[in-house]
A and B are shown apart, each in its own frame.
Chain A
């Protein structure tokens, strides 16, 4: 847990260990999409998540800063395309997150 987090029941360590960066719904959805494919562009992520451009940009930037995705600006013909791809760290962390959630939910799932 981060230093600024309030004290939490130590017996619930699994719950506290859930990756908060990934656990946010918009970022979780983006990572779920990118985990399934080689790469997806910004437009697809926006129409799939129904977020505004600004909102999605902020979330993707956080993921990029954490090293979970890489963002590549390219062109398709004369049209710009912003491609997002899960990094190796992103794949590993997303896999760990899914295991954490299964552990946290346990038989309640």
Chain B
């Protein structure tokens, strides 16, 4: 009995991610941050453009998190709530958050402290961080495609680690690649959601 209740409740948490809008929004943000990180790595240090790119990075990150929330909320109000309903979620703390954060930090530190100068550690650290975040959400809500994207991020990060790109450029490429995958999976999921959940008859006629 309790397993069924747990499954029902997991399904309720999964509902927030099911339409793909969160992935789409986060993917766009990652693409923009990846581009900005690449500009930082490729522009002449100290040039006005490089300084602007550096200033833009925290603004994009902080503003982006807020922007993603608003973007997702607006799209859900327009396209999701009228199709499959609305849920107001209770802010929930993952009881394992300290364990996950500890493991993540330990992994990233281990990567940074590796004694191999030829290894692009930024991309490995970035890929590892994305793997931890996406996989932990995917496991929590039982959404396998998030686990898949997280795993791909880890592989991409590891792949760029052996590239001839600079540390920052390989990190940028990892973030942008993860962003692109999220945009693709998010778009596909959202399109599938719209096809499977038409608007109710009364809404079609205004």
Q: Which residues of A contact B (CB under 8 A)?
A: 28-29, 32-33, 35-48, 76-77, 79, 81, 83, 98, 101-102, 105, 109
What would be 25 A-B contacts, judged by CB atoms less than 8 Å apart? A32-B5, A33-B12, A35-B9, A36-B9, A36-B12, A37-B12, A37-B90, A38-B88, A39-B88, A40-B88, A41-B81, A41-B85, A43-B82, A43-B86, A44-B15, A46-B85, A76-B77, A76-B86, A79-B203, A98-B2, A98-B5, A101-B1, A101-B2, A102-B2, A109-B1
Q: Which residues of B contact A (CB under 8 A)?
A: 1-2, 5, 8-9, 11-13, 15, 77, 81-82, 84-90, 203
Tell me how far the C-beta of A77 lies from the nearest C-beta in chain B, rounded to whole angstroms: 8
Q: Is the CB of A44 within 8 A of B84?
A: yes
- How distant is the Cα of A39 from the Cα of B89 in the complex, in angstroms? 7
Tell me how far the C-beta of A66 lies from the nearest C-beta in chain B, rounded to whole angstroms: 19
Closest to B78 in A: A77
- How distant is the Cα of A28 from the Cα of B203 in the complex, in angstroms? 30
- How distant is the Cα of A33 from the Cα of B1 in the complex, in angstroms? 14
Tell me how far the C-beta of B42 lies from the nearest C-beta in chain A, rounded to whole angstroms: 45
- How distant is the Cα of A40 from the Cα of B16 in the complex, in angstroms? 12
